[in-house]
Every structure is written in structure tokens, then in C-alpha cells.
Amino acid sequence: MGLGAGMRLVAWQPRDLMRHLDEAITVYGEAMGYPRDLIDTRKGYVAAHTHRPDFRAVATLRDGDDQLLGFGYGYRSTPGQWWHDQVAGALGRDLRKWWLSDCFELVELHVKPDAQGRGLGARQLSSLLEDIPHRTVVLSTPEADESKSRAWRLYRRFGFVDILRHFNFPGDERPFAVLGRQLPL
């Protein structure tokens, strides 16, 4: 999957993400603005996620040196998974049934700040959601001014709608929005 301009988009298997885990965690931290000590704790979660059902991942690599410029991954969201259960508990029965009963959870989608604005996030998102065998896709993202946030503009451009706003996950004081979209794209 070519991107042009010295970059390429590749599908990653779980072993590929694990082989590049330190790089991916660094990109995650830079994109989210998290301190190093916090992002280091995420390694175990990411490693566990690679074993989830319907796991899919993509990465954008720079030609020549294979520097990781961005990545994304997700899997089937099911009861018993922490994120799924947090969101399910905040939704009413009908919304929970519609959004979460046959759902792909987009867990991470990040592009290094110095590589943003080149369409990498859109290409990664399109690739991850291509031919997904689920009715919906859901994600969470920090609340932000939609007009100033590249992530928000990307999700809105792809047709994501609000499911929950100003939701607080345990362990993170920032409010998040939970967004969703019916599939296929």
C-alpha cells in the first residue's frame, strides 16, 4: 500500500507490532502528549491487545530507514474487556446493543506530530476499517476543540458521531468522547 512521498503503509501482524513496540509507544506518547513514565506502562496493555479476536494493525513507515511515522490497531470489542465494559456501563440498553453488540474497537490511531497533516491518519484509518466484518466501529478520543484537533476533524470527515461526551475513564482525569460509525465505510 503506497503513500508516495517516501512513505508506505503496511499491514502488521501481532508479531510486527510487538517487534516495534518501543517505537509505537514513543509515537503514541508524542501524539498524545503523555510523559514517558505513563507511556511505558502502556506496553503491557498493547502486548495483551495483540491476542484479542479480529486484531488488525497498520503502520506507516518512512522509505529507506523504516522509521515508524504512524500506526493504528483495533480488534473485536466484547464484554469482559476493560474499555468495552466501561463504555457499556455508561450507555443505556438500546445504545449499548446498537453500538457494542457487533463492534470493532479502534484502540489506537496515531501519527508522529512532525508527520501530521499529510493524510497518514486517513490512510491508516481507511486501511484498518476496510472489509471489517462488524456492524459498527467505536473509539475514544480526548475531548478537544473540534476545529483545532486534527484527530477530531479526521473522525468527523469519516462520519463518526457522538456516542458519549465528556466521559471519564478511571485513572485518567481528562474527559473523553466516545465516537462511533456504522460500517462499512
Is the CB of residue 138 less than 8 Å from the CB of residue 99? yes
Q: Which residues contact 40 (CB under 8 A, 6 or more apart)?
A: 25
Determine which one of 28, 73, 75, 155 is catalytic: 155
Residue 92 identity: G
Q: What is the dihedral of CA 58, 59, 64, 65, to 10 degrees?
A: -130
d(CA 48, CA 63): 29
- Determine the Cα–Cα distance for residues 150 and 177; give it in Å rounded to an integer: 15
Distance, CA of 49 to CA of 114 (rounded, Å): 27
Instruction: Give which of 179, 131, 134, 120 is closest to 155, Cα–Cα.
Output: 179
* 76 DSSP β-pair partners: 104
Q: Are 129 and 135 in contact (CB under 8 A)?
A: no
- Does the annotation mark 28 as catalytic? no
Between CA 125 and CA 143 the distance in angstroms is 19
Q: Which residues are catalytic?
A: 155
